[in-house]
Structure 1
Amino acid sequence: MNGQGGQPGNRPGRDDSPDRLYTLTGGRSRSAPDNPFDLVTLVVAECDPVPGMQSEHAAILRLAERPTAVVEVAAVLRLPVGITKVLLADLLAAGRVSARHPRRTAVTDPDILEQVLVGLRNL
């Protein structure tokens, strides 16, 4: 057991071999500063996987047939979010995915805000 109460080896990305992660990203541990991806960015595949493509890239394209959040892609692939962002940046640069942020709607109705506050207090 680890200190988190889970089984050892069940932590996505943290128990992966550093060599494997290094290989996946070509040695890059962070994507470029202008990378448009954050945890809630929605990724959409612009094409199907092609033969010979890196397996993680192909998996991302299959996952992103419908808009999928970056954090969900990372969780399904069991990779750290930073590594996932590097892979997504590669696909974006190649025109294989597009990225968009979910629409934000401001909640200004006081009744809804009150219900949210009550719900949070009940947690």
Structure 2
Amino acid sequence: MSRPGRDDAPDRLYTLTQGRTRSAPGTPFDLLTLVVAECDPAPGMQSEHAAILRLTGRPTAVAEVAAELRLPVTITKILLCDLLAEGRVSARHPRRAELGGRPDPHILEQVLVGLRNL
């Protein structure tokens, strides 16, 4: 699988998302959303979708997925929406109650690393 990079032509990104420029309204994805694969990649699946399923074998933040794929977050969210609609991933927000309403510093550090890698 060739890994997408920052030098992707706009038509490549257009093809990845089938022309969509943003995820559907009301989708649960933000940078901190944890994504977990519900299945393994299937033969013939779009390579980016398969890569997401491999990356999210453990809970992984959207920002980390985007950084690993070297894709813009908006494109990554669109791809995640496709997988969520097919039941191939689940999405959840990190628990905040454990820290008295404060975000887990470890999660914030992971998001920061992901953002720096973009």
Matched residue pairs, number?
96
Which residue of 16, 19, 35 corresponds with 1:24? 16
Stretches of structure 2 lacking an aligned partner (at least 5 in a row)? 103-118
> How many percent identity over aligned positions?
78
Look up the match of 2:62.
70
Which residue of 81, 97, 112 corresponds with 2:89? 97
Offset from partner CA, 1:36-56 (integer Å, 9 cap, x none): 000010000000000000000
Which residue of 40, 58, 75 corresponds with 2:32? 40
C-alpha RMSD over aligned residues: 1.4
Question: Does 2:50 correspond to 1:58?
Answer: yes
SS in 2 for 1:59: helix
CA–CA distance in structure 1, aligned partners of residues 82 and 42 of structure 2? 15
Letter in 2 for 1:103: R
CA separation of 1:106/1:82 partners in 2, compared to 1, >3 Å: closer, same or farther? same
Look up the match of 1:80.
72
SS in 2 for 1:44: strand
Look up the match of 1:111.
none
Stretches of structure 1 lacking an aligned partner (at least 5 in a row)? 1-11, 109-123
Larger Rg: 1
1:33, distance to aligned residue in structure 2 (A) = 1.2
CA–CA distance in structure 2, aligned partners of residues 107 and 47 of structure 1? 32
Letter in 1 for 2:72: P
